[in-house]
Amino acid sequence: MSKRKICVVITARPSYSRIKTALAAIQEHPNLELQLVIAGSALLDRYGNAADFIVRDGFKIDEKVFMVLEGENPTAMAKTTGLGVMELANVFYNLRPDAVITIADRFETIATSIAAAYQNIPLVHIQGGEVTGSIDEKVRHANTKLADLHLVASDEARERVIRLGEDPEFVINTGCPSIDLAEEVSSQPISFDPIEKYGGVGAKISPQGKYLVVMQHPVTNEYEQAKDDVTKTLEVVAESGLPTFWFWPNVDSGADGTSKGIRTFRELQNPTNIRFFKNMEPQDFLSLLDHSAALVGNSSVGIRECGYLGIPVVNIGTRQHNRQRGHNVLDVDYDKNAIARAIDASVSGGKKERAFHFGNGGSGKKIAEVLATAELRYHKTITY
């Protein structure tokens, strides 16, 4: 029996941790062949170049797709997506996969879905059925409607995809592969020095005692506020005096404003408690989180991995609006006093009860097994 060729498209840094264990399981499965396409900001140095980590982890990259246009505004997002459709259409034509996987809800992931669906290639959507607000939620649901097989991360997500009209037989809760990684690092000591291994710029700090991790991205429908929003968080974190590991934003509309806010604050204020990083290997990042006093910002890692690990999270603004979450999350607006109070409460409160909404490990192997055994066909009949 010939192996099924499964083409996975990774377009950004966070998508790698969302799929890493599934990549390994697909690669190891006797009836599957992994085709790996790296595209978008996952190839760019200023966003941490996830491709370097992917290769070091032992994966072979079959194609690279450079598709990010400068501007980091809504027009650049639209053009980047259009370019992605054109380039990925050629990639799929050449690779001839039996199925294509698109991941979650980033704006450019719709390019993967369109390029596959329009060529009658079965499309598998990972992590559909969740809600977040902004353009991300629209893209996620659009991916769902183009997809033929849905591998969701929670029971709630499965129910939502079915309500969208999808055949329950093709909507399977596999959990989230990023939880597999969180389980690997849970309660393990930190085995690396972040500055020695990754460099970064700013204050010389270490992951000892109580420290913060910050990951704040722009919100696509609030991109004009990005610089002001990140500046408020920077001021509060600097005033807290807590050692802080701060990570660069994603390449979304408004990322230029967020980046300028960070650079301006760093150069003018020279904070003595903050170190800035572009990227880390997924396990290292999660290990750093697992020993932190709190995560601050608006990243989905606070909802998913931190929920599983019980890490307190100060979730700022609307980016994770309506997302299923555990008791570890404190939601606040972009108000300096509210952010400061939430940080104090999170740091003093310690670890929280763990949440298992998105699985408890083993998701990567579940995904591979479904891909090896499920019926993969284009445009199944949908009953509304």
pLDDT of 65-109, one tens digit each? 999 998 778 898 899 999 999 999 999 999 999 999 999 988 999
Q: Residue 162 domain-assigned?
A: yes
Q: How far apart are alpha carbons 152 and 291 in whole angstroms?
A: 28
Same-domain status, 196 and 322 = yes
Same-domain status, 20 and 125 = yes
Q: Residue 309 domain-assigned?
A: yes
Mean pLDDT, all residues of the chain:
93
Q: What is the DSSP string of 183-223?
A: HHHTTPPP-S-HHHHH--EE----S-SS-EEEE----GGGG
Per DSSP, the three-state class of 335 is coil
Same-domain status, 170 and 193 = no
Rounded alpha-carbon distances, angstroms, from residue 221 to 107, 135, 184, 260: 12, 7, 35, 18
Please compute, for residue 320, the number of CA atoms within 13 A of its CA located in the half-sphere on the CB side: 25
Confidence tier at 380 by pLDDT (50, 70, 90): low
Contact 280, 288 (CB under 8 A): yes
Residue 182 has what pLDDT?
A: 95
| CATH code, 80 | 3.40.50.2000
Residue 384 has what pLDDT?
A: 54
Per DSSP, the three-state class of 262 is helix
Evaluate if residue 381 carries a pLDDT over 70: no
Evaluate if residue 228 carries a pLDDT over 90: yes
Same-domain status, 77 and 213 = no
Question: What does the DSSP 8-state code read for residue 376?
Answer: -
Same-domain status, 147 and 295 = no
- What are 276's two structure tokens? 């800035």
Question: What does the DSSP 8-state code read for residue 45?
Answer: G
Q: Residue 243 domain-assigned?
A: yes
Q: Residue 383 domain-assigned?
A: no
Same-domain status, 133 and 246 = no
Residue 327 has what pLDDT?
A: 92
* Residue 27 domain boundaries: 4-175+361-373
- Average pLDDT (314-329) is 90
Same-domain status, 293 and 324 = yes
Degrees, nearest 5: CA angle 14-48-129: 10
Question: What does the DSSP 8-state code read for residue 60?
Answer: P
Domain count, the chain: 2
Evaluate if residue 221 carries a pLDDT over 80: no
Confidence tier at 376 by pLDDT (50, 70, 90): confident
Same-domain status, 67 and 160 = yes
Contact 167, 133 (CB under 8 A): no
Q: How far apart are alpha carbons 292 and 189 in whole angstroms?
A: 12
Q: Residue 133 domain-assigned?
A: yes
Q: How far apart are alpha carbons 128 and 343 in whole angstroms?
A: 31
Same-domain status, 189 and 165 = no
Same-domain status, 293 and 326 = yes
Q: Residue 380 domain-assigned?
A: no
Q: Residue 356 domain-assigned?
A: no
User: pLDDT, tens digit, for every residue of 129-172?
Assistant: 998 867 788 999 999 999 999 999 999 999 999 999 999 999 99
Same-domain status, 170 and 206 = no
Per DSSP, the three-state class of 162 is helix
Q: Residue 217 domain-assigned?
A: yes
Same-domain status, 171 and 188 = no
